[in-house]
Amino acid sequence: MTVEQMKEKLSTMLTDHRYTHSMGVMETAVKLAHLYGVDPEKAQIAGLLHDCAKQIEKPVQLAMCDELGLELDDIKRENLALLHAELGAELAKIEFGVTDEDIIRAIRNHTLGRKNMSDLEKILYLSDMMEPNRREYEGLAGLRELSEKNLTEATLYGLELTIAHIERKGQVLHTQTMEAERFYRNLLHKEVYHMEPLSPFEKAKKATVLLDSKKAEQVSLLKVGELTILADYFVICTGNSSTQVKAMADFLEEEFEKIEISPISREGKQGGSWILLDYGDVIIHIFDRPTREFYSLDKLWDDAEEIDISEFIKEQ
C-alpha cells in the first residue's frame, strides 16, 4: 500500500480532529528522522498510523485484542485508553500491510514508551507529544527545543512529563513507563560519568561481583584467552536450584543492560539447570549443583589461569 492509499484509508477510520493530529505527528516524525539519520519513510508511516485504532469503541478494542491473542496485563485491562497502541500495531499489519518490525514496535510503544527504545520509537513517542496541533501544556516548549538537540535526553524529559501528568490526574502509572524512565535516567547518568567501555577483564570482574551479590556459590573466574578463541574469560558459578540459576542469569542480564551491554546469546541447557550467557569476550556459565559437578568445566579447563576473586568480591 502506498502512503497516499494509507492516508485515504486512515481518513475513513478517524475523526477529522484525530486525522489532523496524525498528520501532525507524521510531519514532526519525518523532521526528527532527518535530524537523527533515521529512515524518514519509516517515520512517516509510523507517525501516520500510530493512532489508527483510536476511534474504535474501547470495549470493542478489548474484544479485538483478546481475539488476536494479545497478552494484556491488569493495568491495560483497567485503563482501556492504553489498548489503542497495542491494537494499532496489529492493525498496521493487518489493515495497512506494514511488515517492518521497527515501525510496528514504535506504534505498539507510543503511549507507554519502554526501556531501550530504537531511535524510531523515541521519535514517534516524542512526535506524539509535541506535534504542532497539540494543546499547550507545561513543558511542551522545552520538550520541542530539547528534541532538536538530543533525542535521548528529550525522550527522558518526555517520559518525566508523562509521569508527572499521570500522577496529577491520579491515574495508575504503568510499570513499563516507570522502567523506561529509570532506564534513561541511568543511561544518561552513565553517559556523563562512565563513558569508557568495559574491558573483557572488567566485564568478567563485574559479573563475578554481581553473581556474588546474588549468593552464587563457588564463583570462579578463569582466564581462557590463550587456550581458546571462544572467549577471554569464563565466569562459572553455582545456584541452589534451577529457579536461582534463572534468577541470577536474569539479574546479570538486567544489570549489564543498564550499561548497554547485551549478550550475543543466552542459552538454557539441560532444562534450565545450566544457563550460558555469551558476552563475546566473556562467557558466563550458571549451573545448578548436580549439573556443575557432572560437567565440571573447571576440570575441563584445568590449564586455564584461575584468577583470585576474593579481593574484588571483598571490595564491595
Contact region with Fe ion (CB under 5 A), list: 45-53, 100-108, 171-179, 261-269: 45-53
List of long-range contacts for 78-85, beta carbons under 8 Å, 24+ apart: 78/172, 79/171, 79/172, 81/111, 82/111, 82/112, 82/174, 83/53, 83/58, 84/51, 84/53, 84/54, 84/56, 84/111, 85/50, 85/53, 85/109, 85/110, 85/111, 85/112
Total binding residues toward Fe ion, as defined by CB under 5 A? 2
Q: Which is nearer to Fe ion, 84 or 203 (by Cβ)?
A: 84
- Shortest reach from residue 131's CB to Fe ion, in Å: 8
- Shortest reach from residue 110's CB to Fe ion, in Å: 6
Q: Which is nearer to Fe ion, 20 or 118 (by Cβ)?
A: 20
Q: Which residues of 146-177 are buried (b: 16+ CB within 10 A; e: fewer)?
A: bbeeebeebbbbbbebbbeeeeeeeeeebebb
Q: Is residue 128 within the footprint of Fe ion (CB under 5 A)? A: yes
Read off the C-alpha cell for 47. Answer: 507517525
Q: Report the phi/psi class of residue 113: left, alpha or beta, with left for phi > 0 and alpha for psi in -120 to 50.
A: left
Contact region with Fe ion (CB under 5 A), list: 124-132, 154-162, 186-194, 275-283: 124-132
Phi, psi for residue 305 in degrees, rounded to 5: -75, 125
3-state SS class at 248? helix
Contact region with Fe ion (CB under 5 A), list: 7-15, 37-45, 47-55, 153-161: 47-55
Contact region with Fe ion (CB under 5 A), list: 27-35, 69-77, 127-135, 307-315: 127-135
- Shortest reach from residue 54's CB to Fe ion, in Å: 6
Phi, psi for residue 285 in degrees, rounded to 5: -110, 120
Count of other CB atoms within 10 angstroms of residue 262: 10
Ranges within 227-246 binding Fe ion (CB under 5 A): none
Q: Is residue 121 within the footprint of Fe ion (CB under 5 A)? A: no
What CA–CA distance (Å, rounded) separates 24 from 44?
Answer: 10
Q: What is the DSSP string of 89-118?
A: HHHHHHTT----HHHHHHHHTTTT--TT--
- Shortest reach from residue 50's CB to Fe ion, in Å: 6
Q: Is residue 86 within the footprint of Fe ion (CB under 5 A)? A: no
Q: Which is nearer to Fe ion, 51 or 121 (by Cβ)?
A: 51
Q: Which is nearer to Fe ion, 86 or 128 (by Cβ)?
A: 128
Q: Of residues 46, 51, 107, 238, which one binds Fe ion by CB under 5 A? A: 51
Contact region with Fe ion (CB under 5 A), list: 122-130, 161-169, 174-182, 260-268: 122-130
- Shortest reach from residue 64's CB to Fe ion, in Å: 16
- Shortest reach from residue 107's CB to Fe ion, in Å: 9
Contact region with Fe ion (CB under 5 A), list: 48-56, 69-77, 89-97, 233-241: 48-56
- Shortest reach from residue 246's CB to Fe ion, in Å: 35
Q: Which is nearer to Fe ion, 90 or 128 (by Cβ)?
A: 128
Task: List residues near Fe ion by CB under 5 A.
Answer: 51, 128
